[in-house]
A and B are shown apart, each in its own frame.
Chain A
Amino acid sequence: MAEHAGSRIGQIILGIIVLLLSMPLLVMYIWLVESAFSQITYGIIPQGFTLSNWRFLWEGFTNMPSIWRITWNTLVFAVVVATIEVFIASLTGYALSRMKFPGRRMFLSLTLVLHAFPAVTLLIAIFYVLLVLGLYDTLVGVIMVKAALELPLGVWIMKGFFDNISWDMEMSALIDGCSRLRTWWEILLPNIRPGIAALSIFAFLSGWSEFLLPYIYTSSFENFTLSVLLRRLVGDFRFVDYGLLTATGLYYMMPVLLFFIFTQEYLLNIYAGGTKGTTV
């Protein structure tokens, strides 16, 4: 929509309004960054530049596992969740988009119902499922839960990507000698690379940021993730050492910020993709 109503002045006023509305967020993120490098901040005003807030990188935290161990856990958690999610979602999304089999419509409805269903309400029961499976307080267990809960959204997004691939091309591949599996792997997947990349980023960020699941389903030090660590630090340090806290927070948020800065269009698209079709 190019020719928007209103004069230049009108547009500038609108711009100022949206800027004011966004102000709290802007201020918070600015504070996060400056506080990580300051001795102390009064409101938005930093006092005294310092790097000592980052000493946890070489000294670690008292009574906590090593920061590298925790980072490694978080990385493993996010990467494995993303891999499982993308892999399974691209299998299932393909089947739902492109295969004719009994129960297909039902499975599609199910995916949609689960997409809308608030999975958080199942936390209590899942706790028991993990206990029974012997996966309580293991990274494997939390990874599986996270992947499963994110799956309906992932399947729906992947299905959307597969929907846009030309049928002729797939028919051609079948005639050229592919099985369905091979078609999926050699013809379809290479042609939805942007979709796979987008979902991977999305799933990775979601896994990287996850708090509730590791917080509830793990308890040992060796399974700490950065979110759990930070939650513990808030308990220990509240109103004591905000510099250290924000430095840790900024450290934790680094990949998020990087992805945010470098893959902005992707993010907007993936969110639009996840909600696409639901706006009848």
Chain B
Amino acid sequence: MAQQTVVAERAALQVEPSWRARLRAITTPAFFIGPALLLILIFFFIPVILTILISLTDMSVATISDINFVGLKNYERIWRSRTTMKILKNTFIYVGFTLTLFNVGMALILSLITTHIPERVGTTFRTFWLLPRITPSVIYAIMWTWFTADAPYGIVNQFLSPFGITPKNWLNAQPWLVVIAANGFVGTSFGMIIFTSAIHAIPVDYLRAALVDGASTLQRIRYVILPMIRWPILFVVTYQTLSLLASFEYILLLTDGGPGFYTTEVWSLYAYHRALSNYFGNVQFGFGAALAAILVIIGVIASVVYLRVFRFSEMVAEPKIEVL
């Protein structure tokens, strides 16, 4: 289309749309996006604001009939509490190891291998790795509990005992190992799918050129494939960091933060325990909300940053039909 700038104030005939057309321009889109807007309003917008509001009060079981605004006191408590350090360290261990070992590491290995073996075999393996993701979390946790159970039941022990390793309940002995692995085996599929489609999208000519140049498979991966999928890798890193930060379902089911005192308690689980789980009988909504609010704020900022960094908005094409 020729780039001609509008000659301002041309005496062209301007026809205002009729009131019917104007009304239609409002009611038609409203009908289509109204329901979604309503749900988003109730279950995203309001909760975000509510989280922050509650975090500024001393709302708890004890004060439910007499809620006071306490300003930033809850945040101060988080800052001062010695538990916070422990929780923070746990969160770093959890996010850091799950992300590097599985969500990115294992995902890369799997996508590289499954694209270098016959396509049908590769697809079968990739599909199989989706199974944990659609397996109900409760069942998945049961399987891990059994997998790591003490002798004579546990499967791990059965495989390791020939090597002279003393049987034990691995979930109690090495809770982090199990928590990270269990989460990782679910989380791998996300990166795996993205990396695989990115590898498939690399023009075959590049790969051929590398072959012609005499590159070995490893060299080709190192110098051709990896550089070409660095954006997808960055995307998975950032996206999954956020998901992991907020997630606690599998930890809740496996260790519930234990064994013992806060051994595998991560930030989001801590928030949940404080605000919603009446385990200690002393539910502190305000304090829990403050913990959650910190995650909410991180989440909002991070997701807005994605939007900019990954230029989502540029993928948006204009509709070719204007009439409503």
Contact = CB atoms under 8 A, between A and B. Distances in A.
A275 B193 contact: yes
A268 interface: yes
Contacts of A174: 321, 323
A111 to B, nearest CB: 8
Given A42-B153, A113-B307, A246-B142, A14 B127 contact: no
A181 B217 contact: no
Nearest to B216: A5
Interface in B215-240: 216-217, 220, 231-232, 235, 239
B117 A11 contact: yes
Interface stretch (A51-59, A121-129, A190-198): A121-129
A231 B36 CA distance: 32
Contact of A151 (B39, B200, B231, B289): B39
A275 B197 CA distance: 10
Nearest to B300: A117
Nearest to A103: B29
Given A22-B125, A167-B321, A272-B193, A242 B296 contact: no
A64 interface: no
A87 B114 CA distance: 36
A2 B120 CA distance: 11
A95 B118 contact: no
A61 interface: no
A271 B189 contact: yes
Contact of A28 (B47, B50, B117, B144): B144
A280 interface: yes
Interface string A81-103: 00000001101101111111100
B318 interface: yes
B28 A109 contact: no
B12 interface: no
Contacts of B131: 25, 29, 260
Interface residues of B, number: 124
Contact of B246 (A35, A98, A101, A118): A118
A108 B313 contact: yes
A94 B136 contact: no
Interface in B125-157: 125-139, 141-147, 149, 152-155, 157
Contact of B116 (A14, A21, A101, A152): A14
A104 B318 CA distance: 10
A47 to B, nearest CB: 10
Nearest to B189: A271
A148 B147 contact: no
B143 A32 contact: yes
Nearest to B245: A118
A159 to B, nearest CB: 10
Interface string B71-103: 000000000000000000000000000000000
Contacts of A2: 119
A171 to B, nearest CB: 6
Interface in B226-276: 231-232, 235, 239, 242-243, 245-249, 252-253, 268, 271-272, 275-276
Contacts of A267: 127, 130, 134
A32 B239 CA distance: 32
B31 interface: yes
A203 B218 CA distance: 40
A39 interface: no
Nearest 8 pairs of A and B residues by beta carbon: A43-B158, A118-B246, A125-B47, A148-B43, A95-B32, A101-B29, A209-B136, A116-B303
10 contacts: A25-B132, A117-B242, A118-B242, A148-B39, A205-B134, A211-B253, A230-B139, A268-B193, A272-B193, A278-B312
Interface of B: 25, 28-29, 31-33, 35-37, 39-40, 42-44, 46-48, 50-51, 54, 106, 109-110, 113-119, 121, 123, 125-139, 141-147, 149, 152-155, 157-159, 181, 185, 189-190, 193-194, 197-200, 204, 207-208, 211, 216-217, 220, 231-232, 235, 239, 242-243, 245-249, 252-253, 268, 271-272, 275-276, 285, 288-289, 292, 295-296, 299-300, 302-304, 306-307, 310-313, 315-324
Interface of A: 1-6, 10-11, 14-15, 17-19, 21-22, 24-29, 31-32, 35, 41-45, 88-89, 91-92, 94-101, 104-105, 107-110, 112-114, 116-129, 133, 144-145, 147-149, 151-152, 155, 163, 167, 170-171, 174, 180-181, 184, 205-206, 208-209, 211-212, 216, 226-227, 230-231, 234, 238-239, 242, 245-246, 249, 252-253, 256, 259-260, 264, 267-268, 271-272, 275-280
